[in-house]
Amino acid sequence: MNRDQIRFVTIIFVWLVLCRSGLGTGRQVAGMQIGIWPIKNSPYVVVDDIIIPKGLVLKIEPGVIVKFAGHYQIIVEGALIAKGSEARPIVFTSVHDSPQSDTSLQPTRSARPSDWQGIEFRHGCDDYLTALDHCTIRFSDWGIRCVDCFPQLTNIILERNEQMTVTINHEAVPYLPGHGISPLPAQTRPKIAPLPDPQSDANDGVIKKPVGSRKL
C-alpha cells in the first residue's frame, strides 16, 4: 500500500476503535480543515494530523473542546483563530480527558502527558491574523511551537503537558501561570495595523489580507 492508502486505513481503524470504546460520539476531523468549527458540533475528535493550508483560515468558536485520539498535531501554515473567553475557553486535550465536566466522550483510561503532540505554527503562516485567546492545552507533548511565525497568544493555560513551555524558533519560552504568553518582547514585536472583524474573514475559510496590514 502507498502512504495515502495506509493513512486511510489508519483513520478507519481509529474510527472503529472509537466506536467500540464509546468514544465515537464526537465529530471526527482529520487532514485539511478550513472555515469554522462551531460549538454545536463540539467536541471535535482528531483522528489524524490537522493541516490549515497557506492562505486559508480555520476559526474555532468559544467553548469548543478538541480531543486528540492519538499522537497527532495541528499544523498551521495559514491562520488559526481560536478566541475563547473566561467563561467559555477553548480546550485542546486528549480523548481520554474530560475537561469542564464534559461527558460526551467516556475515557477508557486516564489521560497522560504526550497523548497528542501540540499546535505548530510553521514558517510563513499568516501570523497577522492568527490568534489564540483563552485557550487551554492539556496532556500534549510540546503544547505550542512557533517556527518563524509569531501569532498572538493571550490567556493561554498549559496543564499536564510533557513540556510546560512554548517553543519559539527552537528556544523554550518559560510558561508563567496567569501571565499569558507573548512570543516577542513588545519593543521587537511586529506592529499590526487595525484589521477587519476576523469573523468576516473566516466565513469562507479564505484569508483576505488588508492592504498594508503589516509594518515591521
For 34, other C-beta atoms within 10 Å of its C-beta total 19
pLDDT given for residue 198 in this prediction: 42
More confident residue, 162 or 174: 162
Q: CA-CA distance, 140 to 162, in Å (whole number)?
A: 6
Q: What is the pLDDT of residues 4-61, one digit of tens each?
A: 666 555 555 544 444 443 344 579 999 999 999 999 999 999 999 999 999 999 999 9
pLDDT given for residue 126 in this prediction: 92
pLDDT given for residue 12 in this prediction: 52
pLDDT given for residue 211 in this prediction: 36
pLDDT given for residue 107 in this prediction: 60
Q: CA-CA distance, 33 to 41, in Å (whole number)?
A: 14
Q: How do the domains of the chain map onto residue ranges?
A: 3-210
pLDDT given for residue 112 in this prediction: 93
Flag whether pLDDT at 64 surpasses 90.
yes
What φ, ψ does residue 5 adopt, rounded to 5°?
-65, -40
More confident residue, 33 or 179: 33
DSSP state of 42: P
pLDDT given for residue 23 in this prediction: 45
Cis bond before residue 190 (omega within 30° of 0):
no
Per the structure block, which three cell numbers stand in for 49? Answer: 494530523
